[in-house]
Structure 1
Amino acid sequence: MSMVVPRLKLGSQGLEVSAQGLGCMGMSFAYSSPKPEPDMITLLRHAVAAGVTFLDTSDFYGPHTNKVLLGKALQGGVREKVQLATKFGIASGAEWEVRGDPAYVRAACEGSLRRLGVDCIDLYYQHRIDARVPVEVTMGELKKLVEEGKIKYIGLSEASASTIRRAHGVHPISAVQLEWSIWSRDVEEEIIPTCRELGIGIVAYSPLGRGFLSGGAKLIDSLSEQDARKNFPRFRPENLDKNAQIFEKVNAMATRKGCTPSQLALAWVHHQGCDVCPIPGTTKFEIFNQNVGALFVKLTLEEMAELESYAAAGDVQGDRYPQMASTWKYSETPPLSSWKSE
């Protein structure tokens, strides 16, 4: 029996996506090095055929190599079936730099279209907010790209509530991408309510805690030396024992419910509302199929509350990132009146 992946609307501008997306980063970047390209193209096409049509990439993944991979996978009539989301704003050089100036926005978009081999991007996010450039200035250039038909919808990633509000005043934001999972819930206080007030869709990245909510502490043993997660605070030895207890509780409930821990953690995100689309990433067919199965795991309000109790704020040890400076907590931008255009 094949499962039909539901659809949902992100934002109020007409964007409709599969209720679960596919984060493509790990195919090319950050987690245990690039995977064989033919295998990843086959996986991407399998995902689209299965009904997971919302694909997520970024300039930063590679840099750029993930886009080239997607471009190849989209050939042969696949492009028309997908909602393609990509992100700009982390410029690669000797050191990575966050940029939101208009010239960079435009150059990044042109480069993305070329690498992806498409004439239009469905959802174009600012990956990180440039705290030197008023968000209205960045949005002004994105608005032009919409008017020129190069992008359809605009998104923000790791943006504070006030930054989202200011950006939305220039051009409607269709989606905000943020980290949201059982053990990352700082967005619930201000950012989620702001998105809902403004009618903005929510895209949850790392809904499985970068794999920790799938495999617990034993995941660490399987990571290669170059895997970026080795440097993440929650995966460090000093935090691991306490965080492992969270996984053990999730795992026990999953066993009771007859699903996997990752399906349970993903189902929790799916139950947050019909405006929320998680985008778990994987490079394995069986994990992809398992993730889609999470759409059909039902949770009661009591089970939701129980899951949340496992990872109350004081129970989770360590920050989400080694450098929290690059997150929404530091995404305020200067007032528009301060901007001197070159």
Structure 2
Amino acid sequence: MAASEEVKVPRIKLGSQGFEVSAQGLGCMGMSAFYGPPKPEPDMIKLIHHAICRGITHLDTSDIYGPHTNEILIGKALKEGIRAKVELATKFAISYQDEKFDVRGDPAYVRACCEASLKRLDVDCIDLYYQHRIDTRVPIEVTIGELKKLVEEGKIKYIGLSEASASTIRRAHAVHPITAVQLEWSLWTRDVEEEIIPTCRELGIGIVAYSPLGRGFFSSGPKLIENLAEGDYRKDMPRFQAENLEQNKNLYERVNAIASRKGCTPSQLALAWVHHQGNDVCPIPGTTKIENLNQNIGALSVKLSAEEMAELESFASAGVKGDRYGPGLGTWQTSETPPLSTWKRT
């Protein structure tokens, strides 16, 4: 299916506080970090402006992307009256020093990160502010308590969590309403469906799906790994290792076969599957090319029947080989924090 310039991007509500976003967002990480060298700034600003003109107004970044350079890029793109047109999301908690990742959620760090992000983005307020990873040394109530203060001060509008377990989400939501939980959700990552998705829906929390195209796997298939730039961290991810890639190739081929039957691309089919999960779900595929962004928007026109959804799901996640991350970076499976009673107030 060719991406049509006529496709209208719908609007959806995330959470129960009235936050409205484009039904598809734009993940901006790959413009600056982790997926090879940073891309030319003028080209990325042009891409962001194109996305906004097409109706993709939910922009997702983080202070760790670069670090810091992606937020600066977004800030430059939002000049000249564009800020009011977008829903801006960024994140804190991951720091990278001495070639090691650390995660922090203590109040002083939360506040310092927010102030720094506001300056880099050159905005007065962040629409959606996520804890990027959970600091297992700090009770989640303490972290959310500081974020609540930032809401009251007008520095952020809504609070989000990324890679948080169901119990962590519940504890956080009891302190202040959580507007969105960001998690990896795609045809080849479905473990969140068992407990986390139902918890979000029970509590009225929106769902933001990152890597809905399997980090590009559903765009290019196994050949993706051959074309990755030097420094692209996907080269080290378990699912892209040779021993796993051969099996995962079968998944791509089956998705490709259904896409051919539907008259769309494999990436549009995979993205459409995420869109069909509900109107409380906003996938945020990343790209650095305008033609890919147009194709992603085209996924909104791909309609899947219940039978087609079942067909995709019958072979999708069961056939995936390899973990989604290597060791070192925590996920929702390792996000439990100590009880609030253990916290020593200073």
Q: Which TM-score bucket, shorter chain as reference? A: over 0.9
CA contact (8 A) 2:190 2:317 kept: no
Report matched runs for 1:82-231 at 5 Å: 82-94=86-98, 95-231=100-236
Q: Which amino acid aligns with 1:195?
A: C
* TM-score normalized by the length of structure 1: 0.99
- Matches of 2:187 and 2:278, distance apart in 1: 15
Q: Shift of residue 269 of structure 1?
A: 0.2
Q: Shift of residue 309 of structure 1?
A: 1.6
Question: Please, what is the CA RMSD of the aligned residues?
Answer: 0.8
| Pairing partner for 2:43 from 39, 42, 47 | 39
- Matches of 1:253 and 1:316, distance apart in 2: 18
- The count of corresponding residues between Structure 1 and Structure 2 is 341
Confirm whether residue 270 of structure 1 aligns to residue 270 of structure 2: no
| Structure 1: gaps of 5 or more residues | none
SS at match of 1:154: strand
SS at match of 1:137: helix
Q: Which amino acid aligns with 2:334?
A: Y
| Structure 2: gaps of 5 or more residues | none
| Pairing partner for 1:307 from 304, 309, 312 | 312
Q: Which residue in 2 is equivalent to 1:319?
A: 323
CA contact (8 A) 2:101 2:329 kept: no
Confirm whether residue 333 of structure 1 aligns to residue 337 of structure 2: yes
Q: Which amino acid aligns with 1:220?
A: I
- Matches of 1:320 and 1:49, distance apart in 2: 33
Percent of residue pairs identical: 74
CA contact (8 A) 2:9 2:23 kept: yes
Confirm whether residue 74 of structure 1 aligns to residue 45 of structure 2: no
Confirm whether residue 297 of structure 1 aligns to residue 324 of structure 2: no
- Matches of 1:317 and 1:4, distance apart in 2: 36
- Matches of 1:296 and 1:175, distance apart in 2: 25
CA contact (8 A) 2:7 2:300 kept: no
SS at match of 1:217: helix
Q: Which amino acid aligns with 2:171?
A: R
- Matches of 2:314 and 2:37, distance apart in 1: 35
- Matches of 1:32 and 1:198, distance apart in 2: 38
Deviations 1:73-103 (A, max 9, x none): 0000110000000000002321221000000
Q: Which amino acid aligns with 2:113?
A: A
Q: Which residue in 2 is equivalent to 1:232?
A: 237
Is the deviation greater in 93-102 or in 233-242?
93-102
Q: Shift of residue 225 of structure 1?
A: 2.6
Q: Which residue in 2 is equivalent to 1:257?
A: 262
Structure 1 stretches of 4+ moved >3 Å: none
- Matches of 1:341 and 1:244, distance apart in 2: 52
- Matches of 2:304 and 2:238, distance apart in 1: 30
